[in-house]
Amino acid sequence: MLIGPRRALLIGVIAAVAATIILVPIIFTLNAPDFNQIGVRLSNVTIADSTEQSMEIKPIFTIMNPTDVTITTSKVDYELFADGVSLGSHTLSYEDVPLNGRPAIFSGMSVPVPDSFTLQFDDKVADIYNKIKDNPDSIKWRASGTAQIESTLTIATRDFNNEI
C-alpha cells in the first residue's frame, strides 16, 4: 500500500516541526556572543542619606560589552564589602521587567547599572558604619558576585570580583 498525499503531507509537516525544534537552539548557540569578553565591575559607591540608625548606599556596576551583539542583564547578585567588612548580599533584579525595559548594552559600549539598599545600624557593623558615615571617601569598596547576561535566546552567568 502506498502513502497517500494527505499522509505524505502530514509526515512532512511533522518532520519540519521536529527539525525546527532541534535546529533552532543549535543555531542560536552557534551565533551567541562570546560571553567571556563581557565584563562586570563595581565602578562607584555613594552614600545618599545617612542617619544614626540607617544609611542608603548606592553601588553602581558597569557592564562592558566588547562583542558585536546587543545584550542585557536580568539580575546581578553581589556581596558588598567596605574595608573588608561585608555589608551583606544583595540582588539587583530586572527579571520582572520586559526585555524592552531592561538596560540595553549595545555593541562596544559600557552601561552603568545602579542599585540602592539601606544599611541598618547594628553592633556587628558599628565600626565600619561610623567610618562610612564620617569619611566615605576613605573606604575601599569591593564587590563580588554574578551577573546574568542575556542575548536573544542565550543566557550566561558572569562572575565578577573587583575593588575600587
| Claim: this prediction has a pTM higher than 0.85 | no
Q: What pairing do the DSSP bridges indicate for beta strands 104-105 and 71-82?
A: antiparallel
Residue bearing the bigger pLDDT, 40 or 24: 40
Which DSSP string corresponds to the chain? -PPPHHHHHHHHHHHHHHHHHHHHHHHHHHT---GGG-EEEEEEEEEEEE-SSEEEEEEEEEEEE-SSS-EEEEEEEEEEEETTEEEEEEEEE-TTS-GGGSPEE-TTEEEEEE--EEEEP-GGGHHHHHHHHH-GGG--EEEEEEEEEEETTEEEEEEEEEE-
pLDDT reported for residue 1: 58
Query: Model confidence over 42-72: pLDDT tens digits?
Result: 999 999 888 888 899 999 999 999 988 889 9
pLDDT reported for residue 57: 92
Range of lowest pLDDT (26-40, 65-79, 107-121, 141-155): 26-40
pLDDT reported for residue 98: 84
Give me the mean pLDDT over the 2-11 stretch: 87
- Percent of the chain at pLDDT exceeding 90: 48
Domain 35-163 falls in which CATH fold?
A: Immunoglobulin-like (2.60.40)
Split at pLDDT 50, 70, 90, the class of 146 is very high
pLDDT reported for residue 116: 92
Residue labelled with grid coordinates 521587567:
97
